[in-house]
Amino acid sequence: MEESKTGYKSWKWTDAHFCNLPTHTLLYPGMSCGISTTPQTNVYGHAKVIDPDGSNKFLVASRVGKFISLEYQITMDKLAPSAKIIPFSYIPAGAELVSLDVICKSVHHKRIVVGVTFIKFEEESEDAESTCKQYLNLQYLFSDCFSQSIDLDFTPYQLTHTSIFVAGKLESVFLLIGSDCKIHMYREVSVSVFVGHVHWIDIVYFNQYSRRLTARGHRDGGITVSHVNVDSNEMLSSWSLQHDSPITCIKIFTLEYSVSQPGFISEKRKVRKVVDPVFHVLALSALEPAAVYRNVLSNGLKEPLVLPQSNKFDVPLCVCIVDIDFDGCNEIMIGTYGQELLAYKFISQKQTSKSGKS
């Protein structure tokens, strides 16, 4: 850590693995399009996949309709990053992909459902103008036995998923934000619609699914965070705040990152007392610096922590919360339209006093 002239501390990221994405030449073999760069994607075109063997993969969808899986492979007893193309036979040629999400219902039975929204330009006749149609396609990742396409009468935005209780049982559902200012919920047996001018939504359950925290970022710059009692369906708290520009992304996270103790470790750890986790909300806006609203369950949306220089590299578009340096604490990774990756690490006052710096 080094003290900078601007008053905050700089953090040097010394260890990172990067994996190149396939270029147009690899995606379209035999076509001499003269393009050697990687096809574009967008902030909605990625999802995490948990394989049946428990390993994690990262699925990226390019706008041209190609799906790329980023994963680690074991080579000579070493982990090596790799990228490979995943075929999706139910996506029509010429479709432009908009958003992607994955529900891992049961890794033991390979119940991994992939949801993809795309736009298809169709020509009815030679004289008629082309029409634009939107679709939501659902299919199993490891099987071609199930595929369903749903016509959409709106332009799709973010596709995500959450869990709901139906007759006392937990069920995974897709949530799709649309240009019609509504949030559409897709279950296996029905479709529901909720009204809202939303650009991005994030949902977290805690206390054994008895509480739900929902954060919504709106196109007019508004932020709404709600705390709900799931058992009684009662709104416990709700907070709202207005920014001056559209919210490009919003994320609920905790600073601590903990994993369960492996079975081969015999030493028993001390069992911590179960308390409500401390949740923070990170909001990215188009023309303002990113802001972290700390401990929202206690403080609401008061006293935001502004992330320095987060608006100096064009519009911040996406965020990832990850323990990048394996110290048990999460860091913030922000991707910008200017193709910069910004990393932020929280330094407590205790750590600052130990290092002898204010």
Question: Residue 49 in contact with residue 141, Cβ under 8 Å?
Answer: yes
Q: What is the pLDDT of residue 268?
A: 64
Nearest C-alpha neighbor of 20 from the set 38, 47, 42, 43: 38
Least confident of 8-22, 173-187, 293-307: 8-22
Q: What is the pLDDT of residue 124?
A: 60
Distance of alpha carbon 165 from alpha carbon 209, whole angstroms = 9
93-126 tens-digit pLDDT = 778 899 999 988 654 445 788 899 999 887 665 6
Question: Residue 289 in contact with residue 308, Cβ under 8 Å?
Answer: yes
Q: What is the pLDDT of residue 288?
A: 92
Give the residues across from 193 on adjacent strands. Answer: 184
C-alpha of 339 from chain center: 18
Q: What is the pLDDT of residue 358?
A: 35
